[in-house]
């Protein structure tokens, strides 16, 4: 019941989206509540479909813990649907956060939660390290400016995606981020193609800006 209430509050009035169209037992093979963020998980893809959370502007830059954690296998769902850290070894792809660690590095126990492999997707290195990170920085900037901001990350898979690792983790075609605060009518969405040939030089955050209504 608490999880349902959390999700309803998080998505209330979000472009008049019916929450049951996004996070429900039919659309999500499993809903994983990590307390500070929620994952809609896809067993077939062995990865997240949606990850949602809220950021408190007074916390995001409070401590900035430098030490980063080791990735850990999420054990709240059946072993055959899990991904592991080793699936990415020598794959050519980064372990890309959806709920990113830098937005939660104000507390040791909380930032560790972002290292669940259920929160990780294969990302092209340049996208993960140079381009997508700009949208992650923006969410923290807006949280500080507005006091609070909500985030919804979505992952786009093809019907027959490339797979990596022993557990055959699906490689997404792309992913997007919605940053919003309904109290002040702030909403921005960014889409990133998961392109191994992406170039960091000349990349601008605004070039990834997309009409939020096109996401649903």
Q: Which 8-state DSSP code applies to residue 117?
A: G
**Number of continuous H segments (helices) and E segments (strands) in the chain:** 4, 11
pLDDT at 160: 94
Q: Which of 201, 203, 205 is nearest to 139 (CA)?
A: 205
pLDDT in tens, 156-195: 999 999 999 999 999 999 999 999 998 898 999 999 999 9
| CB hemisphere CA count around 18 (13 angstroms) | 4
pLDDT at 188: 96
- Residue showing tokens 């002040």: 184
pLDDT at 12: 43
Q: Which residues are bridge partners to 38 per DSSP?
A: 33, 52
Q: Residues 43, 30: contact at Cβ < 8 Å? A: yes
Strands 37-42 and 47-56, sheet pairing? antiparallel
> How far from chain centre, in Å, is Cα 164?
19
Q: Residues 148, 180: contact at Cβ < 8 Å? A: no
Distance CA 103, CA 59 (A): 9
Those residues of the chain that have pLDDT short of 50 are 1, 4-19
| CB hemisphere CA count around 151 (13 angstroms) | 29
pLDDT at 120: 98
Alpha-carbon distance values, 106 to 20, 36, 64, 161 (Å): 32, 12, 6, 36
Give the CA dihedral 55, 61, 62, 63, nearest 10 degrees: 120
Q: Residues 148, 141: contact at Cβ < 8 Å? A: no
- Residue showing tokens 């909403």: 187
């Amino acid at each position: 019941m608490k999880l349902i209430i959390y999700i309803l509050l998080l998505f209330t009035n979000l472009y008049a989206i019916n929450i049951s169209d996004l996070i429900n037992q039919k659309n999500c093979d499993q809903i994983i509540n990590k307390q500070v963020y929620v994952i809609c998980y896809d067993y077939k893809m062995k990865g997240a479909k949606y990850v949602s959370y809220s950021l408190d502007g007074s916390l995001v830059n409070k401590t900035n813990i430098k030490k980063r954690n080791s990735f850990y296998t999420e054990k709240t769902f059946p072993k055959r649907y899990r991904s592991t850290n080793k699936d990415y070894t020598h794959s050519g792809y980064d372990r890309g956060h959806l709920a990113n660690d830098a937005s939660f590095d104000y507390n040791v126990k909380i930032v560790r939660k972002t290292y669940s492999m259920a929160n990780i997707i294969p990302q092209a290195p340049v996208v993960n390290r140079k381009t997508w990170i700009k949208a992650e920085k923006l969410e923290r900037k807006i949280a500080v400016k507005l006091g609070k901001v909500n985030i919804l990350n979505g992952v786009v898979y093809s019907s027959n995606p490339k797979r990596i690792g022993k557990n055959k983790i699906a490689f997404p075609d792309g992913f997007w981020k919605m940053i919003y605060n309904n109290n002040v009518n702030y909403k921005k969405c960014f889409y990133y193609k998961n392109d191994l040939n992406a170039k960091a030089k000349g990349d601008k955050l605004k070039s990834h800006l997309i009409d939020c209504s096109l996401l649903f």
